[in-house]
């Protein structure tokens, strides 16, 4: 008999329409891994377009690994340890970012390398803690590792009201920077409240006419926004994008540097972020929490409803029976979401 769990999975590459809620084999922790009972997971715009969601390599050249479980940031409770795990115990409350080439956390259980996990912030419940790892680590790695943002510097953050942007504005302020952010006009109050000294309505105003002295531009939007950003950055400054690589020729023409990166699991980064949260300097902005049986609608809402901050999937282990039985795609519990 194979131990099973409930999970949201996609059996073919595509969009949210591919998700089914079904019985699946409960994973076993290998050496260096832990099995986590997921309490909540969170989702990210664009995640279903990333090759790593569907293959076992980041660049998409690896093997197809469908059926895949989405949603790579989560909060939960350690349920079992693989061999060689000495720094965690069953019952520990943890949160983390799962490497993108593994199954995500829209499931009752997930196995995760122990070294990527950190203790959940004491001041957050699991739903709010799940909104943190991917988005906050992206903002942290952009501002600290790639931009080396210094106190007193001016940073322009595009997309300040989004999942990553709401963390980036707060982290930049916590690092002592002067913050300008672009956002929709209706999000001005939110982004000001997070610490941005100036908020530019991206539909009504041209940021490049208003900002000419940014030491750092953090681009969370891409496309035209990224291409127009060179006018805003100082010579010697840097444009960091998380959406697409900035043009190196434009960077050279403006005497600036350019960086693109994909966020990486990072325990020390999560520990630093948890300290900021528990000291009251950083808080997740959660637009809504929905049952993980509504994963499809949650991903669709990212496109259609312009959420503020993060959308969280609450994982209810009591939702249905999951006694041991073989997991097959024709399982009686399977249903298209
Ligand atoms: N490289 C990485 O490691 C990494 C990590 C995380 C995310 N990402 C990518 O980064 C992007 C942002 O992620 P997210 O989770 O923050 O997305 P999100 O929650 O959807 O937020 C995007 C924000 O950008 C705003 N926006 C849209 N067009 C804009 C414009 N022209 N100027 C200024 N703001 C604009 C949106 O406002 P409205 O909704 O009001 O239009 C929204 O608040 C996505 O493409 C995601 O796939 C990459």
DSSP string, 137-171: HHHHIIIIIIS---TT-EEEEETTTSHHHHHHHHH
**CB distance 169 to ligand 1 below 6 Å:** no
Cα(90)–Cα(273) distance, rounded to whole angstroms? 23
Q: What confidence tier does 321 reach under pLDDT thresholds 50, 70, 90?
A: very low
Give me the pLDDT at residue 327, please: 27
Give me the pLDDT at residue 24, please: 97
pTM of the predicted model, to two decimals?
Answer: 0.93
**CB distance 313 to ligand 1 below 6 Å:** no
Domain boundaries, the chain: 4-132+284-336, 136-260
Among the listed ranges 114-128, 148-162, 303-317, which one has the minimum average pLDDT value?
Answer: 303-317
Residue 331: pLDDT above 70?
no
**CB distance 42 to ligand 1 below 6 Å:** no
**CB distance 167 to ligand 1 below 6 Å:** no
Q: Same topology for domains 4-132+284-336 and 136-260, yes or no?
A: no
Give me the pLDDT at residue 328, please: 31
Give me the pLDDT at residue 329, please: 34
Strand partners, 7: 22, 107
Give me the pLDDT at residue 335, please: 63
**CB distance 163 to ligand 1 below 6 Å:** yes
Residue 112 — φ and ψ, nearest 5°?
A: -140, 140
Mean pLDDT of 59-84: 94
pLDDT per position as a tens digit, 79-89: 999 999 999 99
Residue 228: pLDDT above 90?
yes
**CB distance 157 to ligand 1 below 6 Å:** no
Q: What confidence tier does 57 reach under pLDDT thresholds 50, 70, 90?
A: confident
CA of 220 to the centre of ligand 1 (A): 5
Quote the mean pLDDT of the chain.
93
Q: What confidence tier does 323 reach under pLDDT thresholds 50, 70, 90?
A: very low
**CB distance 309 to ligand 1 below 6 Å:** no
User: Which CATH architecture best describes the domain 136-260?
Assistant: 3-Layer(aba) Sandwich (3.40)
Give me the pLDDT at residue 336, please: 67
Mean pLDDT of 42-64: 89
CA of 144 to the centre of ligand 1 (A): 19
Enter the tokens of residue 273: 């972020």
Cα(73)–Cα(93) distance, rounded to whole angstroms? 14
Fold of 4-132+284-336: Quinone Oxidoreductase; Chain A, domain 1 (3.90.180)
* Tally: H helices and E strands in the chain: 9, 16
Pocket probe mutation, ligand 1, options 59, 221, 244, max atoms within 8 Å of Cβ? 221
**CB distance 242 to ligand 1 below 6 Å:** yes
Q: Which atom of ligand 1 is nearest to the CA of 184?
A: 40
Q: Which atom of ligand 1 is nearest to the CA of 308?
A: 43
Q: What confidence tier does 218 reach under pLDDT thresholds 50, 70, 90?
A: very high
Q: How far is CA 233 from CA 226, 266, 277, 282, 308, in A?
A: 11, 29, 30, 26, 27
Q: Whose CA is nearest to atom 4 of ligand 1?
A: 242
Q: What confidence tier does 248 reach under pLDDT thresholds 50, 70, 90?
A: very high
């Amino acid at each position: 008999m194979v131990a099973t769990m409930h999970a949201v999975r996609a059996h073919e590459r595509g969009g949210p329409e591919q998700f089914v809620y079904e019985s699946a084999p409960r994973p076993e922790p290998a050496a260096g891994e832990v099995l986590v009972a997921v309490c909540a997971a969170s989702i990210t715009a664009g995640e279903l377009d990333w090759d790593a969601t569907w293959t076992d390599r980041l660049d998409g050249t690896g093997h197809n690994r469908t059926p895949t479980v989405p949603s790579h940031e989560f909060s939960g409770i350690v349920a079992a340890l693989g061999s060689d795990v000495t720094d965690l115990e069953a019952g520990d409350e943890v949160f983390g970012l799962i490497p993108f080439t593994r199954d995500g956390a829209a499931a009752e259980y997930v196995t995760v390398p122990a070294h990527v996990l950190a203790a959940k912030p004491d001041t957050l419940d699991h739903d709010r803690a799940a909104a943190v790892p991917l988005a906050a680590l992206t903002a942290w790695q952009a501002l600290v590792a790639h931009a080396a943002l210094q106190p007193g510097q001016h940073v322009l953050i595009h997309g300040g009201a989004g999942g990553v942007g709401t963390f980036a504005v707060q982290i930049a302020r916590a690092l002592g920077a002067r913050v300008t952010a672009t956002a929709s006009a209706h999000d001005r109050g939110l982004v000001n409240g997070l610490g941005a000294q100036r908020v530019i309505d991206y539909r009504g105003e041209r940021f490049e006419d208003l900002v000419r002295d940014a030491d750092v531009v953090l681009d969370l939007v891409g496309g035209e926004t990224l291409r127009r950003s060179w006018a805003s950055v100082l010579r010697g400054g840097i444009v960091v994008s998380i959406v697409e690589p900035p043009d190196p020729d434009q960077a050279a023409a403006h005497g600036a540097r350019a960086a693109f990166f994909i966020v990486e699991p990072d325990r020390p980064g999560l520990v630093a972020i948890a300290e900021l949260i528990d000291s009251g300097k950083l808080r997740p902005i959660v637009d809504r929490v929905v049952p993980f049986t509504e994963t499809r609608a949650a991903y669709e809402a990212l496109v259609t409803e312009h959420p503020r901050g993060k959308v969280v999937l609450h994982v209810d282990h009591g939702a249905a029976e999951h006694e041991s039985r073989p997991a097959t795609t024709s399982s009686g519990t399977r249903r298209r979401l």
